[in-house]
A and B are shown apart, each in its own frame.
Chain A
Amino acid sequence: MKAFSCENVKSAYDKKYLDSHPIISDITFDIDEGSSVAVLGSNGCGKSTLLRTLAGMIPFSGDIRVGGRELSRLKRKEIASSVALMSQISQVYFSYSVFDTVLMGRFAHGNDLFGGYNDEDRTAAEEALKRTGALHMADRNLSELSGGELQRVFLARTFAQETPILMLDEPMNHLDLKVQAELSEYLKEWGSEEGHTLIGVYHDINLALRLSDTLILMKNGKIVKKGEKKEILSYNLLQEVYDFDVYGYLRSLSASEIFD
């Protein structure tokens, strides 16, 4: 079973630019159910746009199937029941409590027009807060939180959706090392559970390697290559995608000599 299957997909943020100026194009790939995929590439290459396209948030052409169902025929609630996306952008205009914010992730599970959220929703929200180490902040308001704390809350809201497919756009970029370690452990565990598909956009190649079994390399809105870790992380491919000596840079970052 495929979690995603894309055939000749292109997308743009406005329908009228779909043919003339697509952000991503010629996207054809499959993602198996239960796999963990990392999307890598330099800034502006279309990684986040790819995730938004897969979540049906922006206009696209071509064929995208989610769990075998045609994405363009699905209603928003149906998509949100299968796919959860945590994007880099999440604005805060009104200061909700942390718990209420996470509870909102349960929107797609409710049917009633007037009712609020039920006990099952509350339990799921609590569980999601526990998983991101943010349960102690449940009663605080969003305006009191730091960038990293906010990121944990938004991540918890994504977990509260309880979808089989999780897409994370730079999930760790504001988090401290301890939370990064805990969260990557949890994501690894979540990804290994049956039927769970994890797709992440990462700038940290080490993190991508830790969390994923398949890598997708992107450049200029197109997929350069998709494959196993070893196949993708060759010197030449990384040099081509990032346009500089990635190997040399990664070696220079190693702090292991200090720990010895």
Chain B
Amino acid sequence: MKRVKDKNRIYAGLACVFAAFALVLAVGVGSVSTSPAGVISVILNQLFGRELPESVDASIVSIVWEIRMPRVFTAFFAGALLSVSGAIVQSLLQNPLASSYTLGVSSGASLGAGIIIALEIQSTFLSFLLLPVTGFVFGLGTVLLVIFFSSRLDGNLKSHTIILFGMITSLFTNACLTLVSAIKSKHMQRLILWQMGSFAGRRWTHVGILATICVIGCIMAFMFHKQLDLMSFGDETAQGVGVDTKKGRIVLLILASILTGCAVCFTGVIGFIDLAAPHAVRRIFGPSHKYVIPMSGLLGGAFMILADFAARMVLSPQEIPVGAVTALLGAPFFLWIYFGSGKKYKRK
């Protein structure tokens, strides 16, 4: 047992190194590149006013500090939020194929964004936050609707009832979105681009909001790690040892939806990370949520950074949608983790 703990500590250390590598790579490399030392000197210059070395061009400062770092950190926190949320939902619903998208968060958020875009609504109060805030409210509203109808039909709030209502609600809101898009077709392109997801043009304000929610959300999710372990065995087992499953399920579903809603409303709908990252983490660290929650956040974030890096580099200067990259890179990676890596990750 101690062996497993030690092994997991080593893997956790390696995961930190991997995340740091992804961060430095994505910040340093692009149409204009700089070395890791250059990246660090820019950060020191901006944070502590330390002078830049001669080897670092002054123009690189704004590229690194104003453009790339907010983008990379937004990608990291969005990936972390989606992955942690995916890990929670998979365990809660005892379904390895579930994610918070199953609950209708993305379709609800898309409908909210669709209404704002199609009706050209603007707000001086919310300014550039109007679209994310509306997306978030609609996303969370959809999940609350799913929970409400599920509990009306099934007092015990069983997993399959939630999944069923989540799917029905997703289909319904998607149909509403299609209707909005068809009526206001001139905005369709903007809506599709929003749905594809992107980290381009993100600012430090976005990073600040996402980071705050990510840290608070991950701490809250971690507080439930023992309950999550037990609930993945089914309600009867969890109740039998003292978990209030109904209350726990509602709290955790809302928490997972807030996490996903935040990521979606700032970056659009980016799939696959929420599904694949928790599975990869379980394969490496085992199923205990003591590891699954923090490591899904770390590796999901790192993987999202790399996906965004690929999205802007592969056909540079043209960018491809990051959602396409996550699926293109993620699918084979997921298969390798699950089936193909020989003895090391052999299905235990």
Contact = CB atoms under 8 A, between A and B. Distances in A.
User: Do A and B interact with each other, yes or no?
Assistant: yes
Interface of A: 13-16, 52, 55, 57, 59, 75-77, 79-81, 84-87, 89-97, 99-100, 104-108, 110, 113-114, 116, 138-139, 141, 143-144, 154, 157-158, 161
Given A57-B236, A91-B233, 18 more contacts: A14-B155, A76-B242, A76-B244, A84-B241, A86-B240, A90-B234, A94-B91, A97-B4, A97-B286, A106-B241, A107-B226, A107-B227, A110-B226, A113-B223, A138-B1, A139-B4, A143-B347, A157-B241
A77, A99, A100 interface centre (most CB from chain B within 10 Å): A100
Interface of B: 1, 4, 91, 94-96, 154-156, 222-223, 226-227, 229-230, 232-234, 236-237, 239-244, 282, 286-288, 290, 347-348
A93 B236 contact: no
B290 A116 contact: yes
A104 B290 CA distance: 13
A100 B287 CA distance: 10
A89 B236 contact: yes
8 contacts: A14-B155, A79-B242, A93-B91, A93-B232, A104-B226, A114-B222, A141-B348, A143-B347
B287 A94 contact: yes
A97 B1 contact: yes
Contact of A15 (B155, B227, B230, B240): B155
Nearest to B219: A114
Contacts of B234: 89-91
A85 B240 contact: yes
Contact of A94 (B227, B232, B236): B232
A14 B223 contact: no
A13 B158 CA distance: 11
Nearest to A55: B240
Contact of A93 (B94, B154, B227, B286): B94
A192 B347 CA distance: 43
Contacts, number: 96
A57, A94, A110, A158 interface centre (most CB from chain B within 10 Å): A94
A107 B348 contact: no
Contacts of A139: 1, 4
Given A93-B94, A96-B286, A107 B243 contact: yes
Contacts of B1: 97, 99, 138-139
A173 to B, nearest CB: 16
Contacts of A79: 242
B262 to A, nearest CB: 23
Nearest to A16: B155
A84 B240 contact: yes
Contacts of B237: 87, 90-91, 154
Given A95-B287, A96-B286, A104 B94 contact: no
Nearest to B152: A16
A76 B236 contact: no
A86 B233 CA distance: 13
A108 B241 contact: yes
Nearest to A99: B1
A77 B290 CA distance: 21
B223 A95 contact: no
Contact of B241 (A95, A107, A141): A107
A30 B35 CA distance: 77
Contacts of A161: 241
A113 B221 CA distance: 11
A85 to B, nearest CB: 5
A217 to B, nearest CB: 25
Contacts of B348: 95, 141, 143-144
A75 to B, nearest CB: 7
